[in-house]
Chain A
Amino acid sequence: MAKIEQVRGQGIPLLIDDIDTDRIIPARYLRCVTFDGLGEHAFKDDREQDKEHPFDHPHFQESTILISGRNFGCGSSREHAPQALMRWGVEAVIAESYAEIFFGNCTSLGIPAVCLERADLETLTSMVQQTPTLPITIDLVAKRVSCGDAEFPLTMAESARSALTSGEYDFLSQLLEGKAEIEKTAGQLPYLNHFQTA
């Protein structure tokens, strides 16, 4: 896979806490056998109830970096959520914190999900609201987010950061390499061996 060291783009401000995956992609759109076509339904219900929703706002139609709050992506494990965001055009997420399954799903799709301090998120949000065209750079190597003249230190689980920057976020090939060790571990598990533990 290609190394992901930097993501550049404009921001979409959505600084709300505890956004769950039911909001990102409502359950009725999970009636599908492929992820194609999920993009248009991202935040569908929220958008219908808020005509000013940033995902519909003309200023943010070219934006690719989603800015949100605490505990982003909580709730259901549905990978349909990051898939919907990705297919809408989101290439990276900046938030205060993430639910863990959502974070793992993002990483395996090559979507960096990085964390900023709350005050920095608020600064970043107001900058983007004032000037939607301001370019944002997420630098996973230098561990910082820059926007205009401002710079903010980012944090991210080291395992995810190294997986993205080394291009090894598609864990499948890595896991497949462990084949001999997989069977060795299986061979030592009592429940796969009629509980002969002695």
Chain B
Amino acid sequence: MTDSRNLFNKVWDNHTVRELPSGQTQLFIGRHLIHEVTSPQAFEMLRERNLSVLHPELTFATVDHIVPTDNQLRPFADALAEQMMSQIEINCREFGVELFDLKGDRQGIVHVVGPELGLTQPGLTLVCGDSHTSTHGAFGSIALGIGTSQVAYVLSTQTLALQRPKVRQIKVTGELQPGVFAKDVALHIIRVLGVKGGIGYAYEYSGEVFDRMTMEERMTVCNMSIEGGARCGYVNPDETTIEYLRGRPYSPTGEEFDRAAEWWLSLASGPDAEFDDVVEIDGSQIEPTVTWGINPGQSVGVKEKLPTLDSFEAEERGGASEAFTFMDLHEGEPIQGTSIDVAFIGSCTNGRISDLREAAEVARGRHVAEGVRALVVPGSKKVLEQAKQEGLDQIFIEAGFDWRDAGCSMCLAMNPDKLVGREICASSSNRNFKGRQGSPTGRTLLMSPAMVAAAAVNGHVVDVRELLEPAAV
């Protein structure tokens, strides 16, 4: 008998504890990842109600948002950051949760660490008090960002009360052009469907473009599902997924791995799977993409000009006008050539080893333009070590980039890495919101890591395709 359920609904059904009187589902959570910013108040709620952590073996903690990337010696210079760091150490010890702290070699951004340790697996429900939890959907799991009250619910009951979303299949067909990366696919999808287009939906990413992508590339696209308003995004597990998971520290081993692989593949949406909506996008038409505005949907291909105000629907015009004013960019002008002050390569979207390799390919033998401040921040200690083994750190350092320790860094600037004043930043991160990178008036242009490196060495936005040797692409 064929199963017409898509992966999302199979995983949801497997984890359904019961239907609640409100019509919501009480859903079992298979993995819970926590970090220092959104968990302290949750542990405090447990203490207030005299509750314990029901399944501490299913929760894993790391530190990322507030971690300094230049000097990680304790105590931190920032007393508030130091207090948060101490608090997660106390909480993990008291409640029996494993913590990947700065002393070990497993620390890093929660959405980089989970996959690289093999904690993220197909068929799981996985939650974290962070919106970019959608990243983990790359493995064919239901991966949801949650608030702090919900963190407390999961700690104490290993479940959540949730409304089942609809599922939209987004098929990206064809072949990407050389110099076009997963980040461009993510930005393009959000541009087409809008920042609120995904409200009420989980996104299934399918089609040849995703079939060919590495796990790291799939993570980049799933990571930004939330920027399109979707509750989560996922890619069906396949041989690429299985090979990625083989030999990871928390992956099953031996015969158990074979049984796991069989089960994982059985969860994938089959040819008869049903969806609430299907959208098809021609991947060969996607260009290196750059945001110009104050939300991730406001973007253009690098060769395009910025839109004119009258090209927007009446209801969108106010937002576009606000974006032009804040960014000090002008309708109808090309995005290419826009000067930058800062370049940031890192974050849970693009702080993985493949991202650093792509950026290093551009930086190799070139030098950061005068007046540009450029940072490379690996997403985890493992990424940092791998990059060193491959000599990527030296390529960046010789090119004039600042090579840092692992953390979230200037993506949301909760640590000392920040934009100053009206600085404009070419960033491989995920959000160009006003004030996002630490200065209330700072400006962000989102793009792929290779495009950030290209902007860094030129001092302005350029088309990375012109810098890539034919042999390299």
Contacts and interface: CB of A to CB of B under 8 A. Distances in A.
B18 A195 contact: no
Contacts of B157: 172, 175-176, 178-179, 182
B30 A191 contact: yes
B256 interface: yes
Given A77-B131, A100-B199, A181-B17, A22 B434 contact: yes
A22 B461 CA distance: 26
Contacts of B80: 31-32
Nearest to B228: A74
B146 A101 contact: yes
A: contact size bracket = 35 or more
A163 B131 CA distance: 24
A74 B165 CA distance: 17
A159 B25 CA distance: 10
Contact of A77 (B38, B54, B152, B199): B38
B38 A71 contact: no
A22 B436 contact: yes
Interface of A: 16-18, 20, 22-23, 26-28, 30-35, 44-46, 48-49, 70-71, 74-80, 82, 97-101, 104-105, 108-109, 118, 157-160, 162-163, 168, 171-172, 174-176, 178-179, 181-182, 184-186, 188-192, 194-197
A48 B17 CA distance: 47
Interface stretch (B121-129, B300-308, B330-338): B121-129
A32 B173 CA distance: 45
Q: DSSP class of A's interface residues: helix, strand, loop or mixed? A: helix
B146 A33 contact: no
Interface string B209-235: 000000000000000001101010000
Contact of B263 (A20, A44, A186, A197): A197
Contact of B433 (A17, A75, A80, A97): A75
Given A77-B145, A182-B158, A108 B150 contact: yes
Contacts of A17: 315, 318-319
A49 B30 contact: no
B71 interface: no
B263 A195 contact: yes
Given A31-B78, A34-B40, A190-B123, A168 B22 contact: yes
B95 to A, nearest CB: 15
Interface in B136-168: 145-150, 152-153, 156-161, 163, 165
B260 interface: yes
